[in-house]
Structure 1
């Protein structure tokens, strides 16, 4: 496995290959990330993992400065998973000057749910992903892909729409969320949890599953009953000491309020102590 830190070295490394597959990450890797690498391997002739903690998607009060940087451990895991190239640029390499040009996603998708509670988040995500695509994929001669995890459900939907609207010749592949034995979605931020909080953390996924069951039971009356079902789920989680941002049922196609017969996804975000966790299930 080769590790490169500059765009020039990356492009030189990729010249012999025709069909690259990119797995964008912020590092501090876990088995869920490695699952993305394993899914990427059959899609092309070279698999690239990027490791970059992107300042643009963090609000001033969030954990950019304290987000774990574990490059050596990450590279060891990636090599064992069969990754071919690691692109680990510095902030100065990827943003040599202030990033004045940014990708602004449409508000109807990017200003709801995560975007409502983290204003500007998806602008930062789209901007860095577009830049990574330009660095890694645009000069390829054959099929090219990028692989994302379904845990970040809204994020992968935003990126998929961005690729469609800019007519980028990139296939976006979504990989199911990997979970711990108790059902907790794997996340880099799980490392922030104390032992007591880790035992409690699975309650977010349990609350979402319960909300999903209630939504399916409501059937044709879902639109009418949904606000009360969501409110009950939020209150139940709050009673356990969480600070929920949202627990909600949306239609899968655009994350808007569902109507009877729509394919559904249940999504949630909540803070346990100082750690904010997200999860989702298609139902």
Structure 2
């Protein structure tokens, strides 16, 4: 159980760009040696928005679209999940989605958040679904970006398959910036600058984080294990939901949209096809996606 205390943190790590400028709170539990990094900004009285990032990066993924959200007078809370970014990355740890969800709830308690909107991407989609199953009364709306909603439709790229195999630790140790960029570019629909790619790499490798990447792949197992419970929670959620989906994503792209529209016909679906977007909508087209998500969150506040 997390019971968090905080310390201000600015510029953790030695990355020469982007992430070195990160500021936020490093939250610790008296009953645990694990610390969680959280960026939070906006007035305490504003509607809360929890941003849950994907694999294998960090809350830094949200940086490009945060300006669009800040303009709407929202309180943004963006943690680095355990094993990611500036949070601790214990080697001998079982990275269960259940534990990540518990950590998010502890972050809410720390910041006095009784209810919140969720914005979730990729790995964060699984964490958000667990939260829907646990505490739907605390969640006012959900914005979903490309992620593994349907395990039977999940199409992992080669790097993911290798990391999830018995070769995972060896592949992780051999990971280089070049191989990382090559794999990442294979899931994008639009070009992303070298600076952004370098920032992503810094997030993965901070505190030698590439060593824990194979353990983080447990989320694939958890998706299958909890699929029925998570699907019921998703389809029975009474609040507003919207999907902001990059169809050019080979992992969870256009082939997932038909299932979403079939099973959740009342939900808004934004197919980001003009211009086409891939697996990272918030990074590939941050101005457009940020504005769309901000519009949805603002409208949801009046729901």
Pick 1 or 2: higher relative contact order, CA cutoff 8 A, min separation 6. Answer: 2
Greater Rg over alpha carbons, structure = 1
Given the two structures, how large is their TM-score scaled by the length of structure 2? Answer: 0.28
